[in-house]
Amino acid sequence: MYGTCPSGCRYCYANRSMRNVARNVARHDPVLPLLCGEIGPGDSISERKTPPCRRCRQGNIFS
């Protein structure tokens, strides 16, 4: 998620404001399955299977 990495790299494309990063990091709850924020009453969490990319014909580096 953009605006959540606290490393503060000077040329990072993902963080535009360290103030936003600090706010998002403060909202992190390690008990919840979210990067930041909380689960609201109308929210639902579901696991989704993602099929392998058909266009990607990359081989296994260990075979």
Which among 16, 23, 21 is positioned nearest to 4, based on CA atoms? 21
> What are the tens digits of pLDDT across the range 15-56?
888 999 999 999 888 888 788 888 889 988 888 888 777 666
Q: How far apart are CA 18 and CA 3, in angstroms?
A: 8
Are 44 and 13 in contact by the 8 Å Cβ rule? The answer is no
Residue 12 inside a domain? The answer is yes
Residue 58 inside a domain? The answer is no
pTM of the predicted structure, to 2 decimals: 0.57
Residue 45 inside a domain? The answer is no
Q: What is the extent of the structural domain holding 31?
A: 1-37
The number of distinct structural domains making up the chain is 1
Residue 1 inside a domain? The answer is yes
Residue 62 inside a domain? The answer is no
> Residue range 2-20: average pLDDT?
88
